[in-house]
Each structure stands twice: as structure tokens, then as C-alpha cells.
Amino acid sequence: MDAQGVGARCVMADPTACIGCKTCMAACLAKHDVTGDVAQARLNVISTAVVSAPVACRHCTGAPCASVCPTHALYKDGDRVAVETSRCIGCRGCVMACPFGAVDVVMQTTTETLGNLVLRSVQRPIVVKCDLCADRPGGPACVEACPTKGLFVVDQQKLADKVREKRREAASTSTLGVCASVECVSA
């Protein structure tokens, strides 16, 4: 696959099932609203006049976001693109490189203290993107929370196998009995 090829595993949406409720975003936010993490959803529900669907990191095989990161804050970790937030310098190269618009850089405020005395508040850039809830035993929180079951983790190998199977089925059934249901015209 090319740089934009979907990675081995990622969260995908069935736009026919999405009702635009943003429960997936709330679940993602809640999962990441812990000390040491950035309280922000890692997927965004995009709505048009016709359809709604969440967009999340596809963990691209070539990882253009990681390729352009000068500090390696984004990097390939097995079959996913991982984040080391302490390395982010906020250049936003990853945001521009992501073909799906699934990477963001936000400012996080941290407070330096000495006992009960606040010395200063510091803002620093942090890259945020889907991490497949790698540390969550039940898998991605968004998938579990979706009320219509319109989100799922795609295993690309299983998907490719299923597509091949469907194509074989379609090929074998489309050549059998075509003339029975459609008037055949010989050239």
C-alpha cells in the first residue's frame, strides 16, 4: 500500500448507521480525561446534509504524519501510529500531512507548583490522535459506546479476505443466469 494505505487496524464508521449523536466523541473524551493525558476526543463527527460519520486516524501504513514529524512525536509502533507527547514542538506538520484530517495539535496548560504555591502556568503544544485505546482492555471506548453499533475496529487482513470472497461470489453468480434475468443481445 502507499503512504495513505489504511493500517492493519483502525476504527471505521458505517455512515448508514451513524445518527450524529457524538456519543463516540463523549466516550473518547471521558477515556482521555485523566491526569497526564489530554482531555480531547480523538475522533470528530462530520455531518453533511445527507450523512454523518466519525473520522479517526487510519493508522496509515506509510504514516505521512510520522514521516514529517521532526521530533518523532508520532511514530510507528507495530500496526499503529503512536504518540510521544513530550516530544511535540507544535509545528503542525503532522496536521497538514494527515490525508484524513485526523491529527490535531492543541495547547495544554500545566501548572508548576512548589508545595501549595503556584509558580507559573505553562502552555505547550500536544499532538492528539486516535491511539486505538491501546491501554484499554475492552478496545476503543468509542466503539463500545456507539448506540447504533456503527463504529467498529477494522482488521485489514480480515477485510481484504472478505472483499476477495465477495468478489469471487459476485463473479460466479453474475455469469450464471445473466441471460435469464436480462434480455441478452448478441453483437
**Residue 180 belongs to a domain:** no
**Residue 56 belongs to a domain:** yes
Please report, to the nearest 10 degrees, the dihedral formed by the alpha carbons of residues 112, 42, 33, 133 taken in order.
-110
**Do the Cβ atoms of 45 and 24 come closer than 8 Å?**
yes
pLDDT tens-digit map of 74-131? 999 988 899 999 999 999 999 999 999 999 999 988 888 888 998 888 899 999 999 9
**Residue 31 belongs to a domain:** yes
Total domains in the fold of the chain: 1
**Residue 177 belongs to a domain:** no
**Residue 179 belongs to a domain:** no
pLDDT tens-digit map of 135-181? 999 999 999 999 999 999 988 777 788 889 889 988 887 665 555 55
**Residue 59 belongs to a domain:** yes
pLDDT tens-digit map of 18-48? 999 999 999 999 999 988 788 899 999 999 9
Q: State which H helix or E strand residue 66 sits in.
A: helix 64-68
Domain that holds residue 37: 9-170
